[in-house]
Structure 1
């Protein structure tokens, strides 16, 4: 998939790549999950990782999501990516691209792309770079635009979405948690 380099200004980051998850990353996936759970934070862009303690079970689940013939009921075909630092393979974040908005939750609250950055690596530009890498992939799926949402209080995610071309559409309340979610669309130019 390549890498995106952002340097200068307030944020600097090492080159990153989006790669499919493999068993080689099982220990890092488990540590990533634990870092979020210790802080009581939501793991976005990783499907049921919060509920699956065994990284191998999670890997099996995301493989099912990638194949339209094995997608579980209530889910949509998705591509899961790990964001790794190219210099050392360190897991920096996770991102999931949903190929369609094929259920009411995604249409209203979840969107096409979900992502998260490891708590130790935030505010360094990795989310912006990760999202920028995902957009050409979305276009390769035939998507003309993508819906991305963020919690109203998540200023970092809002800035990431806006920096990558997001246009605000609306704010809605997610009924299960009562959380206010901002909805943004990113138009995918043919040459992105």
Structure 2
């Protein structure tokens, strides 16, 4: 199975609604979803993503991709092209989520590997990723892509900060 990253479009509306429902049922946040859980419609979310690409007063510019396997959405990943103070502590340059029913198949590792060239192409020399100290799956995804633990910070929850060098 090949995993591909694609730019979200209205063609994925039904799959995005299913993804969102799956996260709601699991009572989990959609990390990297850029507000997908909160919007009233997928069309509104796509408009929001266009603003996000340019950046706003509240958000650094970034890109959002859907992860597809056999044309089915298995996850979502977000590449932030800069960092603000909040993202330096929690969030970093990249946030991602794999659908709860699609986990433990290596999709997170593949998603991260595929987004790193986009970061490098946009001039980033290294990227910061963060995860909860209890999130063993995310720690494995990050370290399997060259992430090196920088430190652990205590925000609202203990958070590990990893750097991946791109050069």
CA distance in 2, matches of 1:18, 1:62: 16
- Residue of structure 2 equivalent to 1:97: 79
Does 2:131 align with 1:144? no
For 2:38 and 2:154, how far apart are their aligned partners in 1? 24
The answer as to 2:152 corresponding to 1:168 is no
2:21 alignment counterpart: 34
Provide the aligned length of Structure 1 versus Structure 2: 167
- 1:120 maps to which residue? 101
Tell me, yes or no, if structure 1 residue 156 matches structure 2 residue 137. yes
Deviations 1:29-68 (A, max 9, x none): 111111001111111011111211411111111111112x
Q: 1:57 to 1:129 in 2, by over 3 A?
A: same
- Please report how far the alpha carbon of residue 155 of structure 1 lies from its aligned counterpart in structure 2 after TM superposition: 0.4
Structure number with bigger Rg: 1
| Cα distance in 2 between the residues matched to 1:124 and 1:36 | 18
TM-score scaled by length of structure 2: 0.97
Which blocks of at least 5 consecutive residues in structure 2 are unaligned?
none
Secondary structure at the residue paired with 2:163?
strand
Q: Is the 8 A contact 1:30 1:53 kept in 2?
A: no
1:72-91 mapped onto 2 (5 Å cutoff):
72-85=56-69, 87=70, 89-91=71-73
2:31 to 44, 47, 60: 44
- What TM-score, normalized by structure 1, do the two folds share? 0.84
Local SS of the residue matching 2:130: strand
Where in structure 1 are there 5+ consecutive unaligned residues? 1-13
1:65 aligns with 2:46: no
Deviating beyond 4 angstroms after TM superposition, the runs of 4 or more aligned structure 1 residues are none
